[in-house]
Chains A and B, each alone.
Chain A
């Protein structure tokens, strides 16, 4: 089982040389996302299939009624599972969590759960006794780079698309009962999604180290020259930034930063894990770029949601069921 798919040096030098001439293998511009396709399952709610270039991720949202944690009686539960099976790529082992699997699950955790995308208080049914437990299972089908971004889009879209069965509470005091209405009887209820976090990964390449790699020298020292001899400007020439790298670009990159943003110009999390040092101004412009990408992706998600609703609402039967109709 190959430990990791390190490409041969010839491939490396070819890709890096292309980058120094500001071209990418799939002729995308440096801040252009791969073509993103989001499709919702027509039969059940909360199942979304996201294809980002050749990377493919499926997220399934499910709900069940359980007991809340003792120390947080008013909050429902929200669990995200991001197990990466060897189906995605041979480098992932079934049992042990590999390092980048750990990083991916931590970033998804921070982007969606910690940032409060789902209002857990709205999941509470009877405080201290019964609450909804929303579970998001992410299945990674194909790995061509950008697993974090695809997974985050899949879960966010899934949460928006999911409908949980409606319930009514009967009885009073300690004898309260919960009646669950199947979807066929009552219109299912959407979740309280407060904001739509979209994760964007920026890959950094050091042109000097790249040119050194091409010339076959050991890692040239790149630490200092950006800020002393050539003049200090915002986007110094020595670092190139790519958005949404493919697997090959991911394996060659010298550093990366993942930024989660949403449409109300908020940054939910930033994770630059200590690899290649990058000038601070460049990081700020990356965060700004992340917001623009988030707006574009959220627009696409909403468009797909409307299409899905239109499809479900064939012959607009649902229209009759709406409350505001005059009875």
Chain B
């Protein structure tokens, strides 16, 4: 979205002055309203769609597959997304997928995916980002959060649960009960990670930045939030033109801002009653 020099100077002065004045008058921590729906796709274990005010939209489907594993304790999760308009495996797509994949792998206890000693679930998280004006990272992460909340994994068939753990292995491929109602939710005891992005303009930090705000930003910072703590931090390029530079002390300010923002988002997303 090429901005003219006059627009750029207007926006950068507005955003870097103290107190800053965003083009739509929002506070530094204020989010634009989102439209969210969960459990919308019949062929998935869990699904969600989130749409932003500026037309940005993301659909995520979570599918689980049964795989035989040798090492019992590692977590098999694959995150992949298709950003429409960009070539496959573009740098932006790699950022989104790798950030979320490592976040989920580090936080998901492997016992949740265990079926029998020999068999595990492998979780595929696939997202399509239909349109994005602002940076798609937060959009993709919120939709994945909601889709994981909605994910249900089928339980073993009742007759094969009779024996204790180890003799279940002799029965070969595990049989599952076909009654979808008695499947249990993945996120009963675990809440998924949430990745949030903030942009830094001068000394100010802004959350949920619009496309034009990102165009005048000096840099971006993402935090991975899990179980009430910030567990990951990373500097992100938010403008594809010149190199971005920002002062070190705005990082601590940004982390605080992102922590409180993540707490609110997690609360709001949890209230959405997943079907």
Do A and B touch each other in the complex, judged by CB within 8 A? no
Which residues of A line the B interface, CB within 8 A? none
Which residues of B line the A interface, CB within 8 A? none
